[in-house]
Chains A and B, each alone.
Chain A
């Protein structure tokens, strides 16, 4: 239920979550903010980072803070879809009668950590599609809905490319954000080492529950959004397409293909949450610009020109934002 107190406590609750997670995760504050935004917005996150930067620990700690069941799936080349979703098995009951029962897979949790998702075969990866988008699993014509809030946080290792299967575009598009976990700074590294010398267990305590998350999600949907900002956001998505007649110069020069409409949806949904997280009650251009990187990063593909000019995807997104500001002035 919406009430003024809930609205005003929104950012406080977010602060509480962050405080608890920071007990277990050192640094990575930007990533933490965006992960929390994605959870409240109902989106999934693809985390990219080298091994050992705290990806798994972040999700574990998040699960504890949110007081939500957590499940970890280590993707390997031999991982089968049924290993994720679960399967029907024949089970003998107490009377010795044989029954076919559904054995739930690790996907049946609120928080899923898909570790090194790009190591699984496309067949297995595709098993994630339905559940990520529709929050349900269909096995033997029986559909099993996921418990809400349902959140998938997948990781991939950008270094080791041998024996990996790049995620198909359709699956990539189902991630709201793609976040980059940078290697920690020296100070952060020292803190990590110091912290893990005491205990390897997460210490974060539950400060919020799933129901609250869902009510926060509902609340965020009502954040006011003026037409100018909406136009700005949609224009930003549109100008990523080099094939459109009014394509931006940046897109024509550096982009191979542009973002899907889901990018626009993700941008606005996440921007509303971000506004509330930052204590604002309306979406601003800053929200759109800040979220443009995680939203568009995995949805647009740069061409050879960008590679040739040593422009990263974030550089190209920066150029797009600059051009969009000029166009929408």
Chain B
């Protein structure tokens, strides 16, 4: 019985498959167009294969889904056959009464089967689904604007092509002049060559093809850093100063503070203070104890430290300490003579290191000037470097004994008392300062034309009483 409608059922299922395919394709076009439209309006530029994948996926899933949604059962097929083939509910009755064993039901099934067998499957026309009319229209309605609407992409800001740096003769000449100046200095040959080599390298780097203007500052700063590294590698004053700072003696601390500035003159002042303090001792025992302390704080500390022992400054300081220790028990005069002799060596070593530092600083200043680079030093830890702290060494040199920009007094690391930052009140040390100044005035360390200045300063603080005291 059901065999008689199988040919019609097969056709209907094929028809459902075709319908499902078309509905899915149109749905896919519609959805993809919608996605495309949304993406374009939001400036999202998806690759074409993404849209192809969306379409294919929806078509595939849609075909399967719609097939099972639209697939009719036997009753629906029977109803459709009755309607289209004008069979007066024969097929519906046949399906409904397929299990009925009554005579009339059997006759009815037989009659219907016979009728169906005489009808060609071609007589059954395709039944169109409403979606087949609506979806194409919607798909076209969405597809056309989605294709026509331009991508609403945010304008891509193309950065203007960066100009290439052209090394001009003026710059080359300025660097060459700097090289000549460095070569003219009394530096050790290997230090001098290192500085010169780095500057030559700078010219080569700047002259290379494709160097952009924005890269110039970086290249120059690299050179400055390299020059500073050369300076560090060939000096030991900072390491020495760090060790000497640990001394408990004020004179040694002053030497350390002066040394960290790489200023030979200041170092000389500090040593002179030490010499004066030795000369002021009233007893030989007192002198010896100081000499022993100096021996311990300078010589022993440096020997036991990790500082490069081969450095001239370290060697001279150790010799200085040894020379003073040899004076123990020999009195002031011998000590003074030995002190002066040893100081020559220290001075020479310090001057060498200062020249290395000054050269590095000069190179940095000059390079900054040539390339108009301002800003901080590349070596912020080094207070002797220009821009590394609040004090410009050059400015300080031009204003001997003056004050720096904000907090640091040149020639000393003592900070002005700040209620919020400071730890030592000025009032606690002012008496020490005063006594020291009075000594310096008395022994002529302070020139006569500057003495009035100091006297006036302390007179303001203490009044006439101080002088009387």
A binding-site residues for B, Cβ under 8 Å: 2-4, 7-8, 219, 222-229, 280-286
Give Cα distance in the complex from A285 to B82, angstroms: 11
Q: 14 pairs across A/B with beta carbons < 8 Å?
A: A3-B103, A4-B107, A7-B104, A8-B107, A222-B102, A222-B104, A226-B89, A228-B92, A229-B89, A281-B90, A283-B93, A284-B88, A284-B89, A284-B90
Give Cα distance in the complex from A3 to B88, angstroms: 24
Q: Is the interface of A mostly helix, strand, loop or mixed?
A: loop
CB pair A282 B89 closer than 8 Å: yes
Add 18 more A-B contacts to A224-B100, A281-B107, A282-B93 (CB < 8 A).
A2-B103, A4-B103, A4-B107, A7-B104, A8-B107, A224-B93, A226-B97, A227-B96, A228-B79, A280-B111, A281-B104, A281-B108, A282-B89, A282-B90, A282-B108, A284-B90, A285-B88, A286-B88
Contacts of A222 on B, CB cut-off 8 Å? Answer: 102-105
CB distance from A11 to the nearest CB of B (A): 12
CB pair B97 A224 closer than 8 Å: yes
Specify which of A8, A225, A226, A283 lies most central, judged by the most chain B CB atoms within 10 Å of its CB: A226
Contacts of A8 on B, CB cut-off 8 Å? Answer: 107
Contacts of B103 on A, CB cut-off 8 Å? Answer: 2-4, 7, 222
B binding-site residues for A, Cβ under 8 Å: 79, 88-90, 92-93, 96-97, 100, 102-105, 107-108, 111
Give Cα distance in the complex from A281 to B115, angstroms: 12
CB pair A228 B102 closer than 8 Å: no
- Say which residue of A4, A7, A219, A282 sits within 8 Å of B88 (CB atoms): A282
CB distance from B229 to the nearest CB of A (A): 96
A-B contact count (CB 8 A): 55
Q: A282-B90, A285-B88, A285-B89 are in contact. Are A226 and B104 (CB under 8 A)?
A: no
Contacts of A284 on B, CB cut-off 8 Å? Answer: 88-90
Give Cα distance in the complex from A262 to B441, angstroms: 145
Specify which of B88, B89, B96, B105 lies most central, judged by the most chain A CB atoms within 10 Å of its CB: B89
Contacts of B89 on A, CB cut-off 8 Å? Answer: 226, 228-229, 282-285
Give Cα distance in the complex from A286 to B108, angstroms: 17
Contacts of B90 on A, CB cut-off 8 Å? Answer: 280-282, 284
Contacts of A225 on B, CB cut-off 8 Å? Answer: 93
Contacts of B102 on A, CB cut-off 8 Å? Answer: 222
Give Cα distance in the complex from A168 to B205, angstroms: 125
Contacts of B97 on A, CB cut-off 8 Å? Answer: 224, 226
Give Cα distance in the complex from A222 to B79, angstroms: 22
CB pair A226 B107 closer than 8 Å: no
- Say which residue of B79, B88, B96 sits within 8 Å of A224 (CB atoms): B96
- Say which residue of A3, A224, A228, A229 sits within 8 Å of B105 (CB atoms): A224
Give Cα distance in the complex from A2 to B92, angstroms: 24
Give Cα distance in the complex from A282 to B105, angstroms: 8
CB distance from A328 to the nearest CB of B (A): 12
9 closest A-B pairs by CB: A284-B88, A281-B108, A282-B93, A222-B104, A284-B89, A224-B97, A226-B96, A224-B93, A226-B92
Closest to A285 in B: B89
Contacts of A223 on B, CB cut-off 8 Å? Answer: 104
CB distance from A236 to the nearest CB of B (A): 15
Contacts of A2 on B, CB cut-off 8 Å? Answer: 103-104
CB distance from B83 to the nearest CB of A (A): 10
Give Cα distance in the complex from A224 to B89, angstroms: 10
Q: A7-B107, A281-B108 are in contact. Are A226 and B88 (CB under 8 A)?
A: no
Closest to A229 in B: B89
Closest to A280 in B: B88
Contacts of A282 on B, CB cut-off 8 Å? Answer: 88-90, 93, 108
CB distance from B414 to the nearest CB of A (A): 107
Give Cα distance in the complex from A225 to B277, angstroms: 136
Closest to A286 in B: B88
Specify which of A3, A229, A281 lies most central, judged by the most chain B CB atoms within 10 Å of its CB: A281
Closest to B79 in A: A228
Contacts of B108 on A, CB cut-off 8 Å? Answer: 224, 281-282
Closest to A282 in B: B93
Give Cα distance in the complex from A7 to B100, angstroms: 16
Contacts of B96 on A, CB cut-off 8 Å? Answer: 224, 226-227
CB distance from A268 to the nearest CB of B (A): 14
CB distance from A81 to the nearest CB of B (A): 41
Give Cα distance in the complex from A228 to B111, angstroms: 20
CB distance from A85 to the nearest CB of B (A): 38
Give Cα distance in the complex from A219 to B88, angstroms: 20
CB distance from A18 to the nearest CB of B (A): 22
Give Cα distance in the complex from A60 to B88, angstroms: 35
Give Cα distance in the complex from A282 to B91, angstroms: 10
CB pair B104 A219 closer than 8 Å: yes
Closest to B103 in A: A2
CB distance from A309 to the nearest CB of B (A): 33
Contacts of B100 on A, CB cut-off 8 Å? Answer: 224
Closest to A2 in B: B103
Contacts of A283 on B, CB cut-off 8 Å? Answer: 89, 93
Give Cα distance in the complex from A223 to B111, angstroms: 13
CB distance from B77 to the nearest CB of A (A): 14
Give Cα distance in the complex from A324 to B107, angstroms: 30
Contacts of B92 on A, CB cut-off 8 Å? Answer: 226, 228
Contacts of B105 on A, CB cut-off 8 Å? Answer: 222, 224
Give Cα distance in the complex from A229 to B92, angstroms: 10
Give Cα distance in the complex from A286 to B82, angstroms: 12
Specify which of B90, B104, B107, B108 lies most central, judged by the most chain A CB atoms within 10 Å of its CB: B104
Give Cα distance in the complex from A144 to B104, angstroms: 35
Contacts of A3 on B, CB cut-off 8 Å? Answer: 103
Give Cα distance in the complex from A65 to B260, angstroms: 147
Contacts of B79 on A, CB cut-off 8 Å? Answer: 228
CB distance from A283 to the nearest CB of B (A): 7
Contacts of A286 on B, CB cut-off 8 Å? Answer: 88
Give Cα distance in the complex from A3 to B107, angstroms: 10
CB distance from A277 to the nearest CB of B (A): 14
CB distance from B89 to the nearest CB of A (A): 5
Contacts of A281 on B, CB cut-off 8 Å? Answer: 90, 93, 104, 107-108, 111
Contacts of A285 on B, CB cut-off 8 Å? Answer: 88-89
Closest to A222 in B: B104
CB distance from B81 to the nearest CB of A (A): 13
CB distance from B136 to the nearest CB of A (A): 26
Give Cα distance in the complex from A84 to B185, angstroms: 160
CB distance from A171 to the nearest CB of B (A): 34
Contacts of A228 on B, CB cut-off 8 Å? Answer: 79, 89, 92
Give Cα distance in the complex from A281 to B107, angstroms: 7
Give Cα distance in the complex from A226 to B75, angstroms: 11
Contacts of A280 on B, CB cut-off 8 Å? Answer: 88, 90, 111
Give Cα distance in the complex from A73 to B89, angstroms: 42
Give Cα distance in the complex from A219 to B100, angstroms: 15
Specify which of A223, A227, A285 lies most central, judged by the most chain B CB atoms within 10 Å of its CB: A223
Contacts of A229 on B, CB cut-off 8 Å? Answer: 89
Closest to B97 in A: A224
Contacts of A4 on B, CB cut-off 8 Å? Answer: 103, 107
Give Cα distance in the complex from A280 to B96, angstroms: 16
